[in-house]
Amino acid sequence: MTPKTRHERSRELFAQAKLMIPGGVNSPVRAFQSVGGTPRFMQKANGAHITDVDGRTYLDYVCSWGPMILGHNHPAVKAAVLQAVENGLSFGAATEAEVTMARLVCDLVPSIDMVRMVNSGTEAVMSAIRAARGYTGRSKIIKFEGCYHGHFDALLVKAGSGVMTAGVPDSAGVPKGTAEDTLTAVYNDIDSVEKLFDENPKEVAAIIIEPLAANMGVVLPQEGFLKKLRALCSANGALLIFDEVITGFRLSLTGAQGYYGVKPDLTTFGKIIGGGMPVGAYGGRRDVMSTIAPVGGVYQAGTLSGNPVAMAAGITQLKILRDNPEIYERVNRLGERLYTGLAGIAEKHGCTVNHTGSLGCLFFTNRPVTDYATAKASDTVRFSHYFKKMLGDGVYLAPSQFEAMFLSAAHTEADVDFTLNCAEDYFRREDDF
């Protein structure tokens, strides 16, 4: 039997991994838990393609969950990393690269006066929440059902992404008290937010939101929703935090905030500003960021934060994005082709496609998907059949209904058309799967 059908090496590695790593993976959605089967162990990636340990190459719509917007192993990013490595891997001391990175982020995103680098999206969110609490002297946080903000205790409440895929509304191991100050509202339902402000006067430190939700599938903010959140925060003395770990430098050079024209007080970024290296950042208003140690009393630190190799990758990627605006035109045009194509194929089969720019999601439900409850109504069994058929055809999708598809500038029109043909074939023969 050919490796094409057997993926033998992946199987072997998965069996070994399960003995030593919980679930065999270092992050839950990689485990193919909701779709079943053997996760593909990956070996290398280039451009829009990723190759597994059995030598099979896939067209990649995961793009490392977003950061590879230029495509995998971009020559300029790789060269910058190799050059940085020549000088040493980590100093635990201030570097010029960190100043360059901070200047880039502050120059590109108008709401950001100051920024602090961390090592992951989770850390960025955790730190931004601490800053918001420190600045306001309040404890409560409003989040939205189905939004994922990393595995930070206080925000593992009605979270999206792997939490939603695993059907665990609230994680075990989170002390009751830790999550007590987390209030949950309904995405796109401004009344649910107003109610929480009314019930908790002068107690809410911040609202945190994915300005375009991409962890319950892709759910778009309805017209005016983000602006109303902005107004509610200002009226109630709470900060507005945009979690742009997915949307930052992807929806546009100014992220979702530029795209929708709403200015948050704080913003969190993740993987995309590391160009594939482990990076996160949080930043925003100077007065709020001035509460962070060593200037202010909000403590936050990190041995590897601002790591020189990670900075080299991130700076190079951000400069390429800044200097080549046609990249956004390109990925957005590809997005339009892919997602309107998918809608044309799938909507007559009881599916719904949500998309903006290069981010999109095919939901196996015929009702509009506007929040957690409507996303949750999707038929995950149908999704798993679709996922497996696409994987068999060489199209690597995120292994969960509740994740986005990511395009890169390395994808081509032909790649998109190939994907659409595979999808069309699935729906034509859906009963066979």
Strand partners, 348: none
Q: Which positions ≥6 away from 238 have C-beta within 8 Å?
A: 136, 138, 142, 197, 204, 205, 206, 207, 232
Active-site option among 52, 54, 60, 243:
243
Which residue's Cβ lies closest to ligand PMP?
A: 121
* Contact residues for ligand PMP, defined by CB under 6 A: 65, 120-122, 125, 148-150, 210, 215, 243, 245-246, 270-271, 280
Active-site option among 61, 135, 148, 426:
148
Establish whether 243 is a catalytic residue.
yes
Q: Which one, 236 or 401, has the nearer CB to ligand PMP?
A: 401
Establish whether 388 is a catalytic residue.
no
Q: Which one, 47 or 121, has the nearer CB to ligand PMP?
A: 121
Q: Which one, 64 or 236, has the nearer CB to ligand PMP?
A: 64
Query: Residue 10 CB, nearest distance to ligand PMP (Å)?
Result: 23
Q: Which one, 159 or 409, has the nearer CB to ligand PMP?
A: 159
Burial status of residue 253 (CB atoms within 10 A of its CB: 0-12, 13-18, 19 or more): middle
Burial status of residue 231 (CB atoms within 10 A of its CB: 0-12, 13-18, 19 or more): middle
Establish whether 271 is a catalytic residue.
yes
Among residues 349, 344, 343, the alpha carbon closest in space to that of 361 is found at: 343
H and E: helices and strands count for the chain: 16, 14
Six token digits for residue 208: 């945190």
Q: Which one, 193 or 216, has the nearer CB to ligand PMP?
A: 216
Taking the C-alpha atoms of residue 37 and residue 32, their distance in angstroms, rounded to an integer, is 6
Query: Residue 366 CB, nearest distance to ligand PMP (Å)?
Result: 27
Among residues 156, 154, 106, 99, the alpha carbon closest in space to that of 130 is found at: 154
Six token digits for residue 300: 């936050």
Q: Which positions ≥6 away from 274 have C-beta within 8 Å?
A: 67, 280, 310, 313, 314, 317
Q: Which one, 148 or 372, has the nearer CB to ligand PMP?
A: 148
Strand partners, 142: 183, 207
Sheet holding 359-363, edge to edge: 352-356, 359-363, 405-406
Query: Residue 400 CB, nearest distance to ligand PMP (Å)?
Result: 12
Active-site option among 140, 143, 271, 376:
271
Burial status of residue 117 (CB atoms within 10 A of its CB: 0-12, 13-18, 19 or more): buried
Residues catalogued as catalytic: 148, 243, 271
